[in-house]
Structure 1
Amino acid sequence: MNLEKKHLLNYSILIPYLIMSVLGLIVVYSTTSASMIQYGLNPFRSVISQGAFWLVSLLAIAFIYKLRLDFLKNEKVLSIVIVAEMILLVIAKFFTKEVNGANGWIVLGPLSFQPAEYLKIIMVWMLALVFSKKQDDIAIYDYQALTKGQWFPKKITDWRVYATVLVILVAMQPDLGNASIIVLTAIIMFLVSGVGYRWFSAILSLIVGVSGLFIGLTAIVGVNNMAKVPLFGYVAKRFSAYFNPFKDLTDSGHQLANSYYAMSNGGWFGRGLGNSIEKLGYLPESTTDFVFSIVIEELGLIGAVFILALVFFLILRIMLVGIKAKDSFNAMLALGMGSMMLMQVFVNIGGISGVIPSTGVTFPFLSQGGNSLLVLSVAIAFVLNIDANEKRQDILAEAQLLMDTDQI
């Protein structure tokens, strides 16, 4: 049977993706046009740039969807990609200019990219390959199949060494937002890899305990003293705002306090699209990190809930592809991509609402940023490809069964 992939496309994933992408273009225009006019620039400048990245993303989806995913199981290809990513992270940290207190962007003429964004895809790819190859051993030896009975790796080629070095390089920039997303995604992938369920409660308790201890220590010692710790100076203000954003409205608490004002202004039904007050210079990063605060201000709680529901629907459909997949690598890859998006939403919403310290993470699809949109689109492409391959295998298996039955 010659089954074409175009007939196996999962529209329950593609359509929400397209809707979110179009909504993202509308939100980018709404949050940037006023400032563009203020500076005498084309009000469509930012949305044109975002639209260009979206067109590239659509081409990437079409290309990836037609690929055979077997090349992702090649360890040599993965090793080359990991080494290249390490080099790019080192270049971004030590050979680029600082932007908003961090060294994370590599600028090449009119183009710029953030290696940490692409690491999220690479990390999911690496863990999916590692965990999928050890499924039989995990069923027998539990977590020891992944660690070989050793809590600390003894070889530099151990996957844990690669993962640790990559995360440290991101944290050093410092980009604690993306580092947090990568770590949380890795933990979820570990928990769904087949290890005993008791590890879920153990790791969850550890995360809550360590986080609570660190926040409590920061509150006791004081943010100013903690700011003297290397690599912590940049995030010290974020912790100060987390404890009480209204204590210093002109500095550390300015961003989070105005985020609260924006959400309060929105009420149930919002002020109307384009009518935000806070985006007019009051709320910094209103086009990226805090874009969802502006969405709530303009569309209200009802509109924001609708968008969140659509995002969660997309994530659940992606997770469902992983749950249904019979190939262990396909399953781990799809679950990893879904987990990555889920953690990005959690960290962003947690930051703008004050549930967790702000980490500078963008909201999927809505925030201005071509790199983020491209990474999310690549993730969607891989999941669509996985789903089509799994459907094809199921159809061929059923067809073969019918043929065998007819012959009998």
Structure 2
Amino acid sequence: MANRIKEKYMAGKRYFDYPMLFLVIFLICFGLVMIYSTSSYKSTVTYGNSYHWLLRQAVAIVLGAVAMVVCCKLDYRIMKSEKFGNGCYWASIVLLVLVLIIGAAKKGAVRWISIAGFQFQPSEVSKILVVIYLANRLSANAHKIRTFKDSIVIVLPTVPIIALIVTQNLSTALVVCSMIGVMLFVVSPKMKELMLTAGGGIILLFVYLLTANSYRNERVQIWLHPESHKKGFQTMQALYAIGSGGIFGKGLGQSMQKMGFIPESHNDMIFSIICEELGLFGAVCLILVFVALIFRMLLIALNTEDLFGSLVVIGFMTHIAIQVFINIAVVTNTIPPTGIPLPFISYGGTSILVVMIEMGIVLSISKKIHIR
């Protein structure tokens, strides 16, 4: 009798991924520490206090924490409907079109919408909306995907979204394409064809970057010859920072390159300062934390009770993984320079808010896993 009661209890017991929550909290706190360390000098020179960017990021994190808790408390299955998915699709289209109409220019690019003094990037918000839309579409039609053509037809509606993002930010469009590709790869039986298509796309992208008469071709030249190119200063300073950090670094707050040598060191190039202050040891530890987070998300995706939830987690997991890879690859000059933030760590209100919402949805999905 006692065993029967115990089995019944265990069958209905819900799971919550506390290790993943701990990793998220650690990354957010570490990001705040590094944003203060990298921005305090410039903040003091520009604004007369060392906390300007730290406080702005803290406000975004508070809003993100509220959003994450709300998303975690909600049942993710409310998003599992064609109507909700289509709503996400059209919301993404509208936001991206609005950027073209009323977008605010910043650093020579029109990627932001400004409302009551607050700015946000619709292309970042679109990452969440595209994942939810495509997860709905793929989960509802997975049984119909038999050929490579079926796979292409399923994702065809996302082309306008990608095209709109490309006009604003090519690197963000590549991240979205990666998310879509991995989600489709999970469902489609035509893996070989998809891999060949992805490989062909990468080759075409490099051909375009090498031949296009634009600033993108210039970035390739910076990547190939940073020491001699007139705009290779940032790349070289980042490499100096990484090299000077050694094994264990100069110590937290002791970076020299953040003293104006690396422009916007609290943004996309923050990993170079981490290497300088905490050394190779600190950089590897941070990478391992990201690997652990991605692993926890993969476990949730593998154990989720339905395909929709699994695809949502896979989409968000790809978002984190691809941005970590691109950011570190750019900082180390492994790939041509592009503006991709390091998730949780780089300064950016929209970026941290979007990532925290994603983590809230993933934790909500983890709550529906049954322990057996």
TM-score by length of 1: 0.83
Q: Is 1:359 aligned with 2:338?
A: yes
Q: Is 1:376 aligned with 2:371?
A: no
1:25, CA displacement in angstroms? 0.5
Number of matched residues?
364
Q: Is 1:171 aligned with 2:171?
A: no
1:61, CA displacement in angstroms? 1.6
**Comparing both chains, which one has the higher relative contact order based on Cα–Cα distances under 8 Å and sequence gaps of 6 or more?**
2
1:375, CA displacement in angstroms? 0.8
- Whether the 8 Å CA contact 1:181–1:347 is kept in 2: the answer is no
In structure 2, the partner of 1:401 is none
Q: Is 1:111 aligned with 2:126?
A: no
Q: Percent identity?
A: 28
Distance, in Å, in 2 between the alignment partners of 1:185 and 1:69 is 19
1:304, CA displacement in angstroms? 0.5
Question: SS in structure 2 opposite 1:20?
Answer: helix
In structure 1, the partner of 2:4 is none
Counting only pairs closer than 5 Å after superposition, residues 93-172 of structure 1 correspond to structure 2 as 93-138=100-145, 141-147=146-152, 160-161=156-157, 163-172=158-167
TM-score by length of 2: 0.91
- Whether the 8 Å CA contact 1:60–1:381 is kept in 2: the answer is yes
Q: Is 1:315 aligned with 2:259?
A: no
| Partner amino acid, structure 1, of 2:176 | I
- Specify which of 238, 260, 270 is matched with residue 219 of structure 2: 238
1:308, CA displacement in angstroms? 0.7
| Partner amino acid, structure 1, of 2:117 | P
Question: SS in structure 2 opposite 1:373?
Answer: helix
Counting only pairs closer than 5 Å after superposition, residues 175-254 of structure 1 correspond to structure 2 as 175-215=169-209, 217-218=210-211, 226-227=212-213, 232-233=214-215, 235-248=216-229, 251-254=230-233
Runs of 4+ in 1 over 3 A off after TM superposition: 5-8, 142-148, 211-215
Deviations 1:6-47 (A, max 9, x none): 973211210000000000110110111111111243212211
Question: SS in structure 2 opposite 1:283?
Answer: coil
Question: SS in structure 1 opposite 2:204?
Answer: helix
Larger Rg: 1
1:327, CA displacement in angstroms? 0.6
- Whether the 8 Å CA contact 1:134–1:145 is kept in 2: the answer is no
Question: SS in structure 1 opposite 2:248?
Answer: coil
Question: SS in structure 2 opposite 1:281?
Answer: coil
Distance, in Å, in 2 between the alignment partners of 1:369 and 1:77 is 28
- Specify which of 35, 44, 50 is matched with residue 37 of structure 1: 44
Distance, in Å, in 1 between the alignment partners of 2:75 and 2:195 is 37
In structure 1, the partner of 2:70 is 63
- Whether the 8 Å CA contact 1:323–1:335 is kept in 2: the answer is no
1:334, CA displacement in angstroms? 0.8
Gaps of 5+ in 2: 1-7
| Partner amino acid, structure 2, of 1:50 | Q
- Whether the 8 Å CA contact 1:177–1:347 is kept in 2: the answer is no
1:295, CA displacement in angstroms? 0.8
Deviations 1:42-65 (A, max 9, x none): 212211221121121121121111
Question: SS in structure 2 opposite 1:297?
Answer: helix
Deviations 1:165-184 (A, max 9, x none): 111111112x1121111011
In structure 2, the partner of 1:275 is 254
In structure 2, the partner of 1:400 is none
| Partner amino acid, structure 2, of 1:170 | I
Distance, in Å, in 2 between the alignment partners of 1:66 and 1:95 is 34
Query: 327-336 or 235-244: which moved more?
Result: 235-244
Q: Is 1:48 aligned with 2:55?
A: yes
In structure 1, the partner of 2:285 is 306
Distance, in Å, in 1 between the alignment partners of 2:305 and 2:59 is 36
Gaps of 5+ in 1: 149-157, 219-225, 396-408
Deviations 1:344-384 (A, max 9, x none): 11111121122211110000111011211111111111111
- Specify which of 83, 105, 114 is matched with residue 76 of structure 1: 83
| Partner amino acid, structure 2, of 1:314 | L
Distance, in Å, in 1 between the alignment partners of 2:166 and 2:199 is 23
Distance, in Å, in 2 between the alignment partners of 1:55 and 1:160 is 37
Distance, in Å, in 1 between the alignment partners of 2:147 and 2:369 is 27
In structure 1, the partner of 2:22 is 15
Provide the aligned C-alpha RMSD in A: 2.2
Question: SS in structure 2 opposite 1:368?
Answer: coil
Question: SS in structure 2 opposite 1:326?
Answer: coil
| Partner amino acid, structure 1, of 2:226 | P
- Whether the 8 Å CA contact 2:305–2:368 is kept in 1: the answer is no
Distance, in Å, in 2 between the alignment partners of 1:107 and 1:344 is 25
Distance, in Å, in 1 between the alignment partners of 2:255 and 2:313 is 37
1:273, CA displacement in angstroms? 0.9
Question: SS in structure 2 opposite 1:91?
Answer: helix
Deviations 1:232-251 (A, max 9, x none): 43x34322211211112xx4
| Partner amino acid, structure 2, of 1:336 | G
